[in-house]
Amino acid sequence: MEKLLNEFSLGLFVWQSLLFILLLLLLRKFAWKPILNAVNEREEGIKNALAEADKARQEMQNINADNERILKEARAERDTMLKEARDIKNSMIEEAKEEAKAQANKLVEQARTTIQNEKLAAITELKNQVAELSINIAEKVVKEELSNKDKQLKLVDQMLDEVKLN
């Protein structure tokens, strides 16, 4: 302890205190404040830049998601459109088929009715003719009867046979 006190020099202490405090004040004003401020600013800048980059990435992701969604929608739309078109085509074919069938049926029906009508007409005419013939025959028969009964009968039979053949 005595050695320490002996070594202590007041002059050196005063000079040291003076110079050190001066240095401290000067450095505080001209060095540490600008340095710490600059470092802080830079750190803030880096932090901000990182946040910004994060935000941009988020946005990018959003845009990508949007794109995906739009693409998906478009694809779905295309699919529905294709499906619709196919449906329409099918229905048209169906309809056409249906119509053709109906038309055909109608034609057949018409033909059939025509045939029926013709047949009926023919039958009617036949009947009329048969009736006329019958009347004629009957006339002849009546005439024959007047002459020869046997002959008349024979004639009737003959006539009838003829009719049957018809």
Residues that bind another protein (CB under 8 A): 1, 3-4, 7-17, 19-24, 26-28, 30-36, 38-39, 41-42, 45
* Cα separation, 154 vs 133, whole angstroms: 17
Per the structure block, which two tokens stand in for 33? 């404040």
- Give whichever of 11 and 165 is closer to another protein, judged by the CB atom: 11
- Give whichever of 15 and 148 is closer to another protein, judged by the CB atom: 15
Name the amino acid, one letter, at 90: N
Residue where the block lists tokens 């910004």: 52
* Cα separation, 133 vs 150, whole angstroms: 21
Residue where the block lists tokens 């034609």: 107
Whether 137 contacts 159, CB under 8 Å? yes
Min separation Cβ 70 and another protein, Å: 42
Min separation Cβ 82 and another protein, Å: 59
Min separation Cβ 43 and another protein, Å: 9
Q: Where are the alpha helices (DSSP H) in the chain?
A: 2-7, 10-27, 33-147, 149-165
- Give whichever of 35 and 102 is closer to another protein, judged by the CB atom: 35
Min separation Cβ 57 and another protein, Å: 24
Min separation Cβ 48 and another protein, Å: 12
- Give whichever of 11 and 164 is closer to another protein, judged by the CB atom: 11
- Give whichever of 9 and 148 is closer to another protein, judged by the CB atom: 9
Q: What is the largest CA-CA distance in the chain?
A: 199
